[in-house]
Amino acid sequence: MALRVLLALSWLGAAAKRPNVGGQAVIEGVMMRNGERVAVAVRQMGNGEIVTRELLPFQVWHKLSKIPFVRGVYNLFDILILGIKALNLSANLALSEQEEQFGPLEFTLTLILSLGIAIGGFFILPLWLTNLFASHSSGILFAFVEGVIRTAIFLLYLWGITLLKDIRRVLEYHGAEHKSIYAYENQEELTPENAKKYTTLHPRCGTSFLLMVAVISILVFSLVGNPPLLWKILSRLLLLPVVAGVSYEALMFSGRHADSPWLRPLIAPGLWLQRLTTREPDESQLEVALAALKTVL
């Protein structure tokens, strides 16, 4: 389930000068989004054909998506909902099965379970481990140790899923998504030949965002000090939207200024980390990513 959250965030590899386009790797395919247009393209396992379907984005309280810092939390929730829908749809399309969408109850339970595992695994668990070994340290030191443990768990998680054979295909489609968006950003004809020359590493990828969350959470949580464990848990939950909002704005800023010499060293760790979450795609995978991109354009 935590993988659903990671995949749902991967669409953040988006555009800079042209209208924003983002993407997400799904099962044997790619989801692309351009404003309110969302499409999933999948290569079916049986006949090898590429099929596309459009999805509706989360449209409740849409004005919140325009407010700085608040839009980070809103957009992430929107991305997570779309991501789960896209993964479900892509699995059905890839297997040429009937397109059965989650019912309201099943979808809600999946969303809650995904969020619970993500928050529990990447926020509560590091906090609990830190409290075991550094419970009497200063607030700044406690937050630093907690951040190091959180980052270590995140890196181990990423490394672990790359060992799964089926996940490798998803990572290749993640690379295809990034290459396709680069071709779009550079105003090239959207062909596999043009897209394949670009790197699979993108400064506005969700992987970079998650690394920013780990770093920024150290700064934000250090303001709480070192109260009893229950208060620390509550503070993490309450401050999580703040961390997400600040991290989102930082990601958008880095994407707009990725070529800046002073910002490049700060972006580099997120790009390095994407070597775990992306793989070089073949031309057939680029065709799928470009089919989704062309649909939303």
How is 106-169 classified by DSSP, letter by letter? HHHHHHHHHHHHHHIIIIIHHHHHHHHH-TTS-HHHHHHHHHHHHHHHHHHHHHHHHTSHHHHH
| Cα dist from 50 to 18, 202, 248, 297, whole Å | 26, 25, 33, 17
> 272-275: long-range contacts at Cβ-Cβ below 8 A with a sequence spacing of 24 or more?
273/155, 273/158, 273/207, 273/208, 273/211, 274/200, 274/201, 274/202, 274/205, 274/207, 274/208, 275/201
Residue 280's pLDDT band, with cuts at 50, 70 and 90, is: very high
Domain boundaries, the chain: 2-296
pTM of the model: 0.84
Q: What is the pLDDT of residues 216-267, one digit of tens each?
A: 999 999 999 899 999 999 999 999 999 999 999 998 888 788 888 888 888 8
Residue 15's pLDDT band, with cuts at 50, 70 and 90, is: very low
Structural contact between residues 101 and 88, judged by C-beta atoms closer than 8 angstroms: yes
How far is Cα of residue 182 from the mean position of the Cα atoms in its chain? 17
62 or 274: whose pLDDT is higher? Answer: 274
Alpha-carbon span 24 to 178, nearest angstrom: 9
Rounded to an integer, the average pLDDT of 100-105 is 68
- What pLDDT is attached to residue 102? 65
Q: What is the pLDDT of residues 192-228, one digit of tens each?
A: 999 999 999 998 888 888 889 989 999 999 999 899 9
